[in-house]
Structure 1
Amino acid sequence: MDFDWLSKYWPLLLDGAFQTVALLVISVGFGFILAIGLAFAMVSGGPVTRSLARGYSTVFRGTPLLIQLWLLYYGVGSLLPMVPGLRHSFLWPILREGFFFAALSFTLNYAAYEAEVLRGALLSVPKGELEAGRALGMSRFTLVCRIWLPRAIRTALPTIAGEVVLQLKATPLAFTVTVMDLYAVAFKVRQDTLLVYEPLLVVTLFYVVLTVLITRAFGFIEAQVPIRR
């Protein structure tokens, strides 16, 4: 095993690790917010809203993430330069980068999966608790914020933790749209040094450590907020 290359490539590895973590945080953060809206639309929305939310979930869960990423990057991305004035706007430095399309596709995909998780969790909240909240005169917004959504999230925490780990393992796909994430750095090291296993072992170690941290973080949260029976 030869790890002498680490002394030369460690700045790139750190930057790649940052790109990977940034993709994970952005997609999980914004995706979870979108998932909440989708879940409530499926549970308590009108017929049209419910159908749209279910259709969104079906499309994004029923197609490979790689295809979604390429459709956005090579499809939508190729059309953006045709928008008048966009190239000269402050948005262009963001929209021309593969990172934007990777973060967007990861977010939309994560939201679809998480919406189904939250939908089931929302339906599992005992109706008696919701009725008790209404009896106390809570508005719908207060009922959702204080009882319904917190109970659902607590119930779904183990599944959410698993979804976050799966999302982490999906981040190397960003390499296919020129994002210099950790896997892209490992690929560059392989091209420059002809070493195959050593760079992959470093990447593997990073993902294992991050998975352990995510699992323990969710375990800590579960321990601090015990579920009520």
Structure 2
Amino acid sequence: MELIQLAVPVLLKGLWMTLTLTALSVAIGFNLGLGLAIMRGSDKAWVSGFARYYSIAFRGTPLLVQIFLIYYGLGQIRFIHDVPTLWWVISEGSRCAVLALALNTAAYTSEILRGGLVSVPAGLTEAAKACGMSRAMRFRRIEFPLAIRQALPAYGNELVLMVKGTSLASTITVLEITGYAKRLMSQTYAIFEVFAIAGVLYLALNLVLISVVRLVERRLMRHTRPVSQGRAAIAISAI
């Protein structure tokens, strides 16, 4: 009981950093992944090829290796030292973690969104063209809304993986939940208890995230639910 009273407040300090890493990396990674998904559908071979090989590279290598390459490797390139913006990004562990997580999730997100975009019926796109919609308008009003509905369940799994992936930031001195757990472990030697509490925090966070994703999915797919008799009667009477 005393250990719980000691560990929980300390681990909750790392919860804010875990949430920050997740939010920033997902925000950056989603936009980058959307751009890559659009590039995969380009008619230009070099554009679609870049997006394809980017996805292969980041999905085919471990996230931990990518974090180490960014945190330890990029700092050895003298050119980066001469560019203030680049040096600012890699000069601190949390920013390196955000960059690595964002680049990694962008690769997975691009594949998820590409699958959603491919699933959009061609007839809808042709009908939009016949109505005179521009490429941007078709994407904004038809293709993207339909694609995100199809991709949301798989993207929800990616969000859960990102929350768990933030634990690897502790390897580059970032004090998130796992980072504080390691510190407590070295102070109390209660390895099982400390990491069990940390695991419960990750589980609770992911359960909340899954619930939010399901609510959004239910909201987007509300048109597929059967209409109740009461609502049907109201609709018929209105006619």
Q: TM-score, normalised by structure 2?
A: 0.87
Matches within 5 A, 1:126-137: 126-137=121-132
Question: Which structure's CA Rg is the greater one?
Answer: 2
Gaps of 5+ in 1: none
Match of 1:202 in 2: 197
Q: Is the 8 A contact 1:57 1:115 kept in 2?
A: yes
Q: Is the 8 A contact 1:42 1:119 kept in 2?
A: yes
Matches within 5 A, 1:10-159: 10-79=8-77, 83-84=81-82, 86=84, 92=88, 95-159=90-154
Counterpart residue identity of residue 181, structure 1: E
Structure 2 residue corresponding to 1:178, chosen from 170, 173, 178: 173
Match of 1:164 in 2: 159
RMSD: 2.1
Residues in 2 aligned to 1:96 and 1:81: alpha-carbon distance in whole angstroms: 14
Counterpart residue identity of residue 66, structure 2: Q
Residues in 1 aligned to 2:124 and 2:197: alpha-carbon distance in whole angstroms: 49
Residues in 2 aligned to 1:78 and 1:139: alpha-carbon distance in whole angstroms: 46
Q: TM-score, normalised by structure 1?
A: 0.90
Q: Is the 8 A contact 1:175 1:181 kept in 2?
A: yes
Q: Is the 8 A contact 1:154 1:227 kept in 2?
A: no
Residues in 1 aligned to 2:136 and 2:93: alpha-carbon distance in whole angstroms: 38
Gaps of 5+ in 2: 225-239
What is the total number of aligned residue pairs between the two structures? 224
Q: Is the 8 A contact 1:26 1:103 kept in 2?
A: yes
Q: Is the 8 A contact 2:93 2:172 kept in 1?
A: yes
Runs ≥4 residues deviating over 6 A: none
Residues in 2 aligned to 1:65 and 1:144: alpha-carbon distance in whole angstroms: 32
Alpha-carbon displacement from aligned partner over 1:67-124 (angstroms, at most 9, x marks no partner)? 11100000013436972474xx8x74x5421001111000000000110111111111
Cα 1:131–1:15 shift into 2, 3 Å: same
Q: 1:5 offset after TM fit, Å?
A: 3.7
